[in-house]
Each structure stands twice: as C-alpha cells, then as structure tokens.
Amino acid sequence: MNPILRQRLVGALVLIALCVVFWPIVFVESVDQQPIELRPTPQRPDIDRSPLAQPQSPEATIRERVKPPEIDRESQMQADEMTRLVDGESDSNLSELNAVDSVQKLELRDAAPIVPVLDAAGYPQAWVLQVATVSSESRAKTLVEQLVDKGYPAFHARFARDTVVQWRIQIGPKFEKESFESIKSEVDRVLKVKSMVVRYQQPL
C-alpha cells in the first residue's frame, strides 16, 4: 500500500475516534439531575406481642382416644418373681441350651391356626414366655444375644417397680400358648428357673 494513502487512512480513523469521544461533550445538552430528597424514617410497625398458643399435637389427640391394651398385672408380677436371677450369678450355662430347631421341631398342622382374640381395647391377645428378670441392662442384652444365637426369638423389656428399674427377658410373642411348651421345658432345665407364659404387653 502507498505510504501516503496509509497515513491518510490512519488520520481519518483518528479523526473519527475523536468525533465519537467529543461529540456528546460538545453537542449533547446535559441533563440536570434531580436533587435527592431525604424523607423521614417511617414509624415502626405495631407488633402483636401476645403469647402464641401451644401447637396441637395430632399424636396427643389420638392417644387420648386410644385405650391401652389390657395387662394381667398379677400374672406379670408372679412371673417377675419366679424368673428373677440373682446379681453376679453366672449365665454361662446357656451354652448348654439346645437350638430351637431341635427343641421345637417343625410339624405339619392338622388344623388351621387359631384366630387371635381381641381384648376390650381391640388389641390381639398375644403371649410371651418370660424366662428371666435381671437388674442390669448389660446382662439382659447378653442373655438375649445368647438366646438369639440359639434361634430363640428373644428380646428384653425395661420396667420400673417401686422406683427400681429392671429388665425382663422374654421369648415371642406368639398367638398360641401351646407353642411355648417345648421351649419352656428346655429353658427351665438350663436356666434353673420357672419360666411363665404371660400376656404380651404391646408397647405404645
């Protein structure tokens, strides 16, 4: 490209850039901005500080209408005394307990299972075999673990009597009392207790 033509093109571009920059400054009329108006701070809103009512719990409302299941307290107290294990007494003899499969062999039924009977509160009457009562939760867990290892559906339940907290070790629940007969004989033989079939207390 001719150097003279190149200089003229550069000069023209420079003039155009200057026009773009200075055109608004020279020819565009400035707009006066309105002054900022400071308004007074609005008053604080009135807040209702009256205490709120306690929320209603649907569970609490339902519990008021639901009757607790019936409990045979006399039989349960008798079972607690008959199955009480002395503190410090060894439970190692549970290793002699035969597995539930060899104690309660599977047999074909000649009749249909019984229909569970409902109590006055509408709960089905189920039964458990209470095998021990101890005053230590750790001991209760150990006994339950040993029974479960042998195939017995055992669990422990906490209860308090005269401000003394204790734990019941029970097997079940079942709807037929007769299904505990063979298990009861085996547990009584090994634990040296008089286990007792009592009404299952369903937790609420």
- pLDDT of 41 reads 85
pTM of the model: 0.63
Q: Which helix (H) or strand (E) holds 164?
A: strand 164-174
Q: What does the pLDDT look like over 121-143, one tens digit per residue?
A: 778 888 999 999 998 899 899 89
The band of 166, judged by pLDDT with boundaries at 50, 70 and 90, is: very high
Q: For residue 85, what are the contacts with CB-CB under 8 A and spacing of at least 6?
A: 91, 132, 133, 134, 139, 191, 193
Answer with the residue of higher pLDDT: 18 or 92.
18
Whole-number mean pLDDT of the chain? 81
**pLDDT bracket for residue 32 (50, 70, 90):** low
Which regions of 8-141 does DSSP assign to beta strands (E)? Answer: 127-134
Which stretches does DSSP call E strand in 44-163?
Answer: 127-134, 154-161
**Sequence-ordered strand ranges (E) for 72-163:** 127-134, 154-161
Closest by Cα among 166, 128, 146, 130 to 90 = 146
Confidence of residue 160 (pLDDT cuts 50, 70, 90): confident
Structural domains of the chain ordered from first start: 74-100+122-199 (3.30.70.1070)
* More confident position, 134 or 32: 134
